[in-house]
């Protein structure tokens, strides 16, 4: 069984031939499109290393069939920076030491981008921790991650205010 789907990936529209409906979005990104930012940690939706945005919402790409996403808009960590200019969330993770080994970091960053867009955390670190609980960090960089999310959120908000002025 083979069929074709259309996906917009990091702003680029692509026609993708699938020879097997079993392909998850994560495997499609990593194995076929060579976008290896999203990581396969647990492959069961428990670690968050595979987090990407689908139509602007953060989801676990390991638990999504690519075939069911025909027409969707996907953003991976590769799509965040503008050339050498890092996205504010990426810059904040570096500034606040929000990582150690780095394996979970693309998922953490995509989850943080989603969290900020959702807008339910305010400036409450407790809410940030709760809403980031789908991303596990074995190195235990949680303190820096929480600070990075709050700082990036502030940067993005200030930027928006400047753009509006």
Residues forming the site for other proteins (CB under 8 A): 1, 3, 20-22, 24, 43-45, 48, 51, 57-60, 63-65, 67-68, 111, 114-115, 118, 120, 124, 126-127, 129-135
- What's the min distance (Å) between Cβ of 42 and other proteins? 10
Task: Output phi, psi for 163, to 5 deg.
Answer: -65, -35
Question: Is the Cβ–Cβ distance between 53 and 75 less than 8 Å?
Answer: yes
- What's the min distance (Å) between Cβ of 115 and other proteins? 7
| Strand order through the sheet with 12-18 | 12-18, 3-9, 73-75, 51-54, 57-60
Residue whose CB is less far from other proteins, 84 or 120: 120
Residue whose CB is less far from other proteins, 99 or 131: 131
Separation of alpha carbons 87 and 120, rounded Å: 21
Q: Which residue has the tokens 């993005």?
A: 156
Residue whose CB is less far from other proteins, 79 or 114: 114
Residue whose CB is less far from other proteins, 66 or 99: 66
- What's the min distance (Å) between Cβ of 163 and other proteins? 25
- What's the min distance (Å) between Cβ of 121 and other proteins? 9
């Amino acid at each position: 069984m083979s069929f074709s789907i259309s996906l917009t990936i990091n702003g680029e529209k692509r026609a993708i031939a699938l020879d097997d409906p079993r392909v998850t979005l994560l495997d499609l990104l990593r194995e076929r499109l060579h976008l290896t930012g999203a990581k396969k940690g647990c492959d069961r939706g428990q670690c968050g290393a595979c987090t990407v945005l689908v139509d602007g919402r953060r989801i676990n790409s390991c638990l999504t069939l690519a075939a069911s996403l025909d027409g969707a808009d996907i953003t991976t960590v590769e799509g965040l920076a503008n050339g050498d200019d890092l996205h504010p969330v990426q810059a904040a993770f570096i500034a606040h030491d929000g990582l150690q080994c780095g394996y979970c970091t693309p998922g953490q960053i995509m989850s943080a981008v989603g969290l900020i867009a959702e807008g339910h955390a305010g400036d409450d670190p407790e809410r940030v921790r709760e809403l980031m609980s789908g991303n596990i960090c074995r190195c235990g960089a949680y303190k820096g991650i929480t600070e990075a999310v709050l700082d990036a959120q502030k940067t993005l908000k200030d930027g928006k205010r400047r753009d509006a002025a």
